[in-house]
């Protein structure tokens, strides 16, 4: 699925208004976009998106929970403790 210019702009503006946030979600027909804002000093912003199919999505709006959902979705084969550790690390970068 392709991210529209409007959606990409919305993500960028969201993270500009919320500079401490690293994750957000956006509802879309057929699922939820999880957006991971990756920013490191001296490097351009990167927005990595993941479409999660969900019939009736109910997601918490906090970075810790969204990071855990992100890593649980991407790395399903990883042990739970490793996914939680990766999520915590993502929040400190």
pLDDT, one tens digit per residue, over 22-74 is 999 988 877 888 999 987 777 788 899 988 877 666 678 899 999 998 998 89
What are the residue ranges spanned by the domains of the chain?
5-92
The answer to whether residues 70 and 35 touch, using CB atoms and an 8 Å cutoff, is no
The pLDDT score that the predictor gives to residue 23 is 94
pLDDT at 93 over 70: no
pLDDT, one tens digit per residue, over 21-36 is 999 998 887 788 899 9
Identify the residue whose tokens are 């529209």. Answer: 4
Pairwise CA distance, residues 53 & 62, whole Å = 20
Q: What is the model's pTM?
A: 0.81
SS3 assignment, position 69: helix
The gap from C-alpha 33 to its chain's centroid, in whole angstroms, comes to: 8
Give the residue-averaged pLDDT of 71-86: 92
SS3 track for 74-87: HCCCCCHHHHHHHH
């Amino acid at each position: 699925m392709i991210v529209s210019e409007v959606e990409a702009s919305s993500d960028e503006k969201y993270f500009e208004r919320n500079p401490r946030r690293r994750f957000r979600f956006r509802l879309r027909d057929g699922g939820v976009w999880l957006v991971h804002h990756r920013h490191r000093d001296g490097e351009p912003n990167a927005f990595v998106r993941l479409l999660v199919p969900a019939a009736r999505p109910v997601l918490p709006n906090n970075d810790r929970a969204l990071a855990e959902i992100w890593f649980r979705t991407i790395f399903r084969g990883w042990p739970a403790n490793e996914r939680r550790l990766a999520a915590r690390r993502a929040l400190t970068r």
